């Protein structure tokens, strides 16, 4: 190991898990971090340990601080995500924005996100995150406004404080039919593992 290199401690598998959780290809992370795809591949497979400079660039590409990537500021079983540290989902659909409230930990089987819909806005449009994996479930809680869930050909109206749980691998989207902004929380539980 060269001087200034990060000891492995599973950093490669962690980078891969975080990259996949963000739905990024090796090339996508390479573009975001400035680290070549072949180098990223070697790091992920544990064939090489990144230098601190390379690890810092990879962390930035994953929207993390180096200490978060290397788990230096984690204290056992509790991870706090401060309001200013939330990861923002890509703003690809006009009127729909969201933040991921759970930390990007490998192997995590559920994700909590906060969604904001402008009046008339709809999720699930072109560029929005793809349909969830088979067996996944979603629970949504309306914090403010009116939200319509369109799921598998049915329509469900929810008001402040209402919640709904459904099979997230079915065709679905949320809509704000009201004149004011709507906000809802969503918990997505991962599908059943095939292996």
Please check whether residues 143 and 91 belong to one and the same domain. yes
Measured at the alpha carbon of residue 60, what is the angle toward residues 58 and 61, in degrees to the nearest 5?
65
Alpha-carbon distance 135 to 40, whole Å?
31
Q: Running DSSP on this structure, what letter comes out for residue 174?
A: E
For residue 93, the enclosing domain spans 83-189
pLDDT value for 107: 58
What CATH number does residue 25 fall under?
A: 1.10.260.40
Element (H, E) at 59: helix 52-61
Q: How many domains does the chain have?
A: 2
Number of H helices, E strands in the chain: 5, 9
pLDDT at 4: 52
- The pLDDT value given to residue 133: 74
Residues 105 and 133 occupy one common structural domain: yes
Instruction: Note whether 32 and 119 are same-domain residues.
Output: no
Q: Which residues of the chain have pLDDT under 50?
A: 1-3, 127, 193-195
The whole-number pLDDT of residue 156 equals 96
Give the Cα separation of 156 and 174 in Å (integer): 10
Q: Please indicate, yes or no, whether the overall pTM of this predicted structure exceeds 0.85.
A: no
């Amino acid at each position: 190991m060269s001087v200034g290199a990060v000891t492995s401690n599973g950093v490669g598998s962690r980078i891969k898990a975080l990259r996949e959780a963000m739905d990024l290809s090796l090339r996508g992370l390479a573009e975001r971090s400035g680290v070549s795809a072949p180098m990223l591949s070697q790091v992920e497979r544990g064939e090489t340990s990144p230098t601190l400079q390379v690890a810092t660039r990879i962390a930035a590409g994953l929207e993390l601080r180096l200490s978060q990537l290397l788990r230096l500021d984690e204290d056992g079983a509790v991870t706090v995500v401060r309001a200013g540290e939330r990861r923002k989902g890509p703003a690809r659909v006009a009127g729909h924005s969201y933040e991921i409230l759970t930390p990007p930990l490998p192997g995590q089987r559920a994700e909590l996100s906060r969604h904001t819909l402008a009046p008339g806005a709809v999720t699930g449009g072109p560029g929005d995150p793809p349909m969830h994996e088979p067996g996944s479930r979603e629970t949504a809680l309306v914090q403010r406004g009116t939200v319509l869930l369109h799921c598998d050909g049915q329509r469900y109206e929810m008001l402040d404080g209402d919640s709904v749980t459904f099979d997230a691998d079915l065709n679905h989207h949320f809509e704000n039919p009201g004149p004011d902004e709507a906000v809802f929380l969503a918990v997505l539980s991962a599908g059943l593992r095939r292996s």
